[in-house]
Amino acid sequence: MTTIFQAISNSAKRIKVAIDTKDIGYSQEQNASGETQLQLDIQCDLIIEEELSKMPSIHTIASEEKEHPMVLHPKGRFYVAFDPLDGSSLIDVNLSVGSIFGIYDGAFESSRIVAACYVVYGPRVEMVFAEEGKARLYLLQEGEFEMVKEMRMEEKGKINAPGGTQQNWPTYHKTMIDGLFNEGYRLRYSGGMVPDLHQILLKKGGLFSYPGTSDKPEGKLRKLFEVFPFAYIFECAGGAAIDGKGRLLELDTRDVHDTAPCFFGSHYEIETVRRCYAHT
């Protein structure tokens, strides 16, 4: 796992440079030499592919940017799924974005996730790496990721981060979200899964929800690259993650790009979701 941590750290440092210095979303434009520039999220995908390829322990990778999984080392053990630049449309407006990684042992299945990680590219670059029941926060300082602390959530938080378009929410979901606001929860939602969940983890509680909606009954967020890694991280940090009823980490996956409705938070809020969704 140390080598995978290293590969992710190296990717994150290179992605930070790409974000700071390269084309920011003007895809298909030509650079000074007349070459077509790659979109930033494709550049980030290639950076991660290159760094992970150096690790013989990695059997296969799957990326949000690639249609199919790619075998790297047939004798390797780990399967790594990643979203190279989640929330990339927020780059144009200079909000925080992130990379997400799920590390699976032997196959892309929720029950086989053995570590997960995300990197936040904000005013500072931070990384959270979770394994063996612990989620640790690292800060990029002078070119290296230094461990800051172990992250532990409390029983209940104050933040409500409701994803999706309200007019497409089921009525019971709206009632639940309104109920939390009526209890005093504060709205905190940037539209980037990584910074929005990072905030809940660092503030030690709250709820992030992305429900099934009338236009997307299976939700928007992808199981292998977004949902399972964050479910694993929340559980390691003492929180919980469900699809409304059951643990996200017990869901099946048929296709690498499958999505699921998802709720991440501290225990009080997740119990609130369970009660609301029990009748559905």
Residue number, 78 or 121, with CB nearest to ligand F6P? 121
- Answer for which of 7, 62, 87, 251 binds ligand F6P (CB under 6 A) is 87
- Any idea which residue has 């928007």 for tokens? 220
* DSSP type of residue 94: T
Footprint (CB under 6 A) of ligand F6P, residues 124-183 = 163-164
CB of 220 to ligand F6P, least distance (A): 6
Comparing CB distances to ligand F6P, the nearer of 196 and 235 is: 196
Closest of 199, 201, 202 to residue 191, by C-alpha:
199
Nearer to ligand F6P, 12 or 58 (CB): 12
Q: Give which of 169, 166, 128 is closest to 150, Cα–Cα.
A: 128
Binding-residue total with ligand F6P (CB under 6 A): 10
41 versus 51: smaller Cβ distance to ligand F6P: 41
Binding mask 210-229 for ligand F6P (x = CB under 6 A): ----------xx----x---
Backbone dihedral region of 147: left (phi > 0), alpha (psi from -120 to 50 degrees) or beta?
beta
CB of 155 to ligand F6P, least distance (A): 24
| Smallest separation (angstroms) from ligand F6P to the CB of 73 | 28
In whole angstroms, what is the distance from residue 37 CA to residue 43 CA? 9
Q: Which residues, numbered 179-208, are part of the site for ligand F6P (CB under 6 A)? A: 191-193
| Closer by beta carbon to ligand F6P, 80 or else 97 | 97
Site residues for ligand F6P, 255-274, by CB under 6 A, read none
Q: How far is the CB of 66 from ligand F6P (least distance, A)?
A: 16
Compute the least distance from the CB of residue 221 to ligand F6P, in Å: 6
Q: How far is the CB of 194 from ligand F6P (least distance, A)?
A: 7
Residue 137 or 221: the one with the smaller Cβ distance to ligand F6P is: 221
Residue with tokens 């030499």: 33
Q: Of residues 41, 49, 65, 86, which one binds ligand F6P by CB under 6 A? A: 86
- Pick 198 or 220: Cβ nearer ligand F6P: 220
Site residues, ligand F6P (CB under 6 A): 86-87, 163-164, 191-193, 220-221, 226
